[in-house]
Amino acid sequence: MKIVLTAINAKYIHSNLALRNFVVYTADCADHLILKEYTINHAPDQILQGIYREQPDVLCISCYIWNISMVESLLTEFHKLLPEVPIWLGGPEVTFEAETFLNTHPQVTGILRGEGENTFAALARHYVYGSPECLEDIPGLIFSRDGELFQTGEALPLPLDRIPFCYDKTEDLAHRIIYYESSRGCPFRCSYCLSSIEKNLRFRSLDLVKKELSFFVEQEIPQVKFVDRTFNCNHEHAMEVWTYIQSIDRGTTNFHFEVSGDLLREEELQLLSTFRPGLIQLEIGVQSTNPETIREIHRQMDLPRLKEVVNRIRAWHNIHMHLDLIAGLPFEDYDTFARSFDEIFALAPSQLQLGFLKVLKGSDMFEHAKEYGILYHDTAPYEVMATKWLPFDDILRIKRVEEMLEVYYNSWQYALSIRLLTCIYESAFELFQRLGDYYDDHGLFGCSHSRLARCEILLDFLQEELACGYLSTDADQLLPLFREALTYDLYARENCKRRPAWATDLAPFKQELRARNPENKGSLRHTEVFHYAFPLLDCADIPSLPKRTEEPLFYRFNYEERDPLTYQAHIELL
């Protein structure tokens, strides 16, 4: 008997935690279980061929919004080849409308609903050992037999300590993001999130957690991503884990946590302030700063406290922070979303993730979609197209903002230039909106642009803004500053093979450059001449446009030393 468990991940570096848990939890059937992992970038035929060559007796597939289209195609083609093989599905994409899915996909034998370890273990034993336990007696199943649907009772929540650790030394984990859970469930009830359905908050014992985290550090795993929905909802648990990872740190592994910023206590903040730069990164879901929206989606958030905490963490320069916003939420129109954007951008997070509402099956938002006038795509990922408050035209405008934000801010490749631009626009949202409109008007979307080309586009955009009178600043003063800022941004990332045409001519400074750089490090160092005092570390601290200096300034970019948070070269003023 061979049971093939198939994961189709979003990227190669991702790992499927759910199916790994199934395998280790069903140890008595281990010789009969095969885990196959693919990505959505694999050709569908390649996935089909790989599974077919295994000649499974049972096929199980994990279903999510990013892979459901490929899964549906795979079901059809696989069933043609091996029509007698039972196909079982699980995951959030098939759990909440299981009856409809089974009725429209007759190739599928059944679906595992909810938490799956116990359910899968019983199902595997049913096939492997021909156990007397009938499918009807296995909690957590819905299946089709002779055209009739059968539903079994709900599976009971599983104590997390009963799930064995699912990673081992034989697996190549060096180039993967490792997903890890120390808790299940969430104390909050956000209407757009499936975690709000899980009302039973459970924790893995700290002794086990510490032992498993030690394994990741010893194996020098680059990143471990905790999938706990709100990691700091339990203060004692968070403090124990954070204190422990600091004590075992070897300077290699980064740990990612999703936290509620306003719930971080003083004791936690004091501890976090002492961490090695790059030891952890924090993801903080703000979603909106509009009070009506926050109330309607059932979030609890102390916004002034959150802002205070984010500002404090940023000032330490040791923790990479993502702040999240969602466009398309109830009671959020274009203007209120722009205000939310500006409020959060002003906090200068390492990344500002602008996402669009996804109306997930099973969520409270799904149940109220008609009430809110939400139009969303029928196919995964079910992204919003319009709401009562936000027409499709405005969604499209915000999408242009999103792309510009990703390219020019979240990439950290134009940090100084973007921060300087925010000094001359009334709002950051306005800047990214106008830049996105410029890209759209000039047919620049959908093209692959080099970093140098992105800089040239930014300069052309700025010149057009000045020429049309939108910016009242003197072009003769502004353009030289931004040419040097873009030069700074380019060399902060890498020693450019092709020097930008607008950069300062270094020929007059040849002797002085040689004198300031007695050691010849070749491509590992670059010294540049500027006429403005640019910051060495945090561009967010620029209060206004710098004035041109009388004497040239010499900045050295050291590519052997890089900022662990931004990957920018170490920069010093000579």
DSSP 219-244: TT-SEEEE--TTGGGSHHHHHHHHHH
Length of the chain: 574
**Is residue 555 situated within a structural domain?**
yes
Q: Quick check: is 278 in a domain? A: yes
Are 145 and 224 within one domain?
no
Domain C-terminal end among 390, 417, 438: 390
Given pLDDT bands bounded at 50, 70 and 90, which one contains residue 192?
A: confident
Give the tens place of pLDDT for each residue, 35-68.
999 999 999 999 999 999 999 999 999 999 999 9
**pTM for this structure?**
0.91
Give the domain range for residue 369. 172-390
The CATH number of the domain holding residue 62 is 3.40.50.280
- Do both 19 and 114 map to the same domain? yes
pLDDT the model gives residue 342: 97
SS (H, E, C) 360-409: CCCCHHHHCCCCCCCEECCCCCCEEEECCCCCHHHHHHHHHHHHHHHHHH
Give pLDDT tens digits for 407-464: 999 999 999 999 999 999 999 999 999 999 999 999 999 989 999 999 999 999 999 9
Residue 520 lies in a domain: yes
3-class DSSP assignment, residue 99: helix
Q: Which residues of 3-37 are buried (b: 16+ CB within 10 A; e: fewer)?
A: bbbbbbbeeeebbbbbbbbbbbbbeebeebbebbb
- Predicted confidence at residue 193, as pLDDT, reads 79
Cα–Cα distance, 198 to 221 (Å, whole number): 30
Q: Which residues contact 504 (CB under 8 A, 6 or more apart)?
A: 484, 487, 528, 529, 530, 531
Q: Can you tell me the distance from the alpha carbon of 181 to that of 255, in angstroms, rounded to the nearest whole number?
A: 12
Mean pLDDT, rounded, for 119-143? 90
Asked whether residue 193 falls in the same domain as residue 121, the answer is no
Spacing of C-alpha 322 from chain mean position? 8
Same domain for 308 and 263, yes or no, is yes
Within a domain: residue 401?
A: no
Longest dimension (CA), the chain: 89
**Section 302-313 average pLDDT:** 96
Query: 181 and 128 in one domain?
Result: no
Quick one: pLDDT at residue 195?
Answer: 67
Is the predicted pLDDT of residue 570 greater than 70, yes or no?
yes
In this structure, are 139 and 27 located in the same domain?
yes
**In this structure, are 325 and 356 located in the same domain?**
yes
pLDDT at site 537: 77
Structural domain includes residue 404: no
Structural domain contains residue 408:
no
CB atoms within 10 A of CB 304: 9
CA–CA distance, 232 with 302 (Å, rounded to integer): 15
Count of beta carbons in the 10 Å neighbourhood of residue 59: 26
Does residue 381 share a domain with residue 350?
A: yes
Residue 528 falls inside a structural domain: yes
Residues 94 and 229 both lie in one domain: no
CATH of the domain at 311: 3.80.30.20
Number of domains in the chain: 3
- CA nearest neighbour of 398 among 448, 462, 452, 332: 332
Question: Taking 90 as the threshold, does the pLDDT of residue 131 lie above it?
Answer: no
What is the pLDDT at residue 520? 67
The verdict on 369 and 480 lying in the same domain is no
Say if 236 falls within a structural domain.
yes
Average pLDDT across the chain, whole number: 92
DSSP designation for 190 = -
pLDDT recorded at residue 197: 63
